[in-house]
Amino acid sequence: MDPLLKDKTVLITGGTSQLGRIFVAKAVQNGARVFFTYFRSATVAQALEKIGAKGYALDLADVQTMEAFAASFQKKTEQLDVLIHNAATTADSLIEQMSEKDWDRVISVNLKAPFYLTRQLLPLLLRKQPSKVFMMVSRAGLSGLYGAANYAASKGGLIAMTKTLAKELGRKKILVNAINPGFMKASMTAGVPESVLQKNLNESPLKSFSDPEEVADFMVYLSSGLMRQVTGQVFHFESRPL
């Protein structure tokens, strides 16, 4: 049997994230040509390049850098089968203390960059259909998250954008879906107090957190030709009922 992602070109932002790096390795193993972006984790990026992926350092809060990246990326590859908006940042505080700068940065990286890169890379996504766009979201975007109005708003915005782009791009055979990977122990959640971790665990009938290996396997499946006729959905990879 052919590897699941044979002949597929994949671009994932935040390939250096806890989840991203596992997905990159699995996508390479499954035969994809994998490109990823990263911000500060140059050592992780080098390790991913050693296994055959190609990394680009860029700040997704900076439109000019993204513009230059999108232009050069279009010259590097003939097609783009899968675009995954995975990079995200946080700057948590209660609304009284939240600065406009922290609001803008989180919204820029988490919400504006997916809009911008999808728009700029549309010509590549149209070259070989069906192609796919995935937004990595969070239950924060549905239920809110205490102390993280910026992050929750960005993820809620991504869910609305997923549903809208699915409607707009369906006739062009581009599938647009969102994935909520559930609560994974990762750098993004490193500052979460023990009491909150315990509460999350208690709410899980399985008494478990999400496993990024399992999420990455699901992302490989969704990226592959096995998933062909699903669009506008949010896949919740949660062990806690929503």
Ligand X SMILES: NC(=O)c1ccc[n+]([C@@H]2O[C@H](COP(=O)([O-])OP(=O)(O)OC[C@H]3O[C@@H](n4cnc5c(N)ncnc54)[C@H](OP(=O)(O)O)[C@@H]3O)[C@@H](O)[C@H]2O)c1
In the complex with ligand X, the residue whose CB is nearer, 7 or 196, is: 196
Q: Rounded to the nearest 10 degrees, what angle do helices 149-169 and 113-125 cross at?
A: 20
Helix (H, G, I), strand (E, B) or coil at 187: helix
Among 38, 116, 146, 151, the one annotated catalytic: 151
Shortest gap between Cβ of 236 and ligand X (angstroms)?
A: 10
**DSSP structure string for 40-72:** S-HHHHHHHHHTT-EEEE--TT-HHHHHHHHHH
Nearer to ligand X by Cβ, of 109 and 149: the residue is 109
Least distance to ligand X, CB of residue 11, Å = 13
Strand pairing class (234-236; 82-85): unpaired
Instruction: Report how far residue 178's alpha carbon sits from residue 201's, in angstroms, rounded to the nearest whole number.
Output: 24
User: What is the chain's length?
Assistant: 242
Closest distance between ligand X and the C-beta of residue 210, in Å? 7
Q: Which is nearer to ligand X, 125 or 140 (CB)?
A: 140
Contacts with ligand X, residue ranges (CB under 6 A): 14, 16-20, 38-41, 59-61, 86-89, 109, 136, 138, 181, 183-184, 186-189
Give 116 or 129: the residue with its C-beta nearer to ligand X: 116
Task: Verify whether residue 38 is a known catalytic residue.
Answer: no
Smallest distance from ligand X to CB 114, Å: 10
CA 50/CA 29 separation, integer angstroms? 13
Indicate which residues carry an active-site annotation.
151
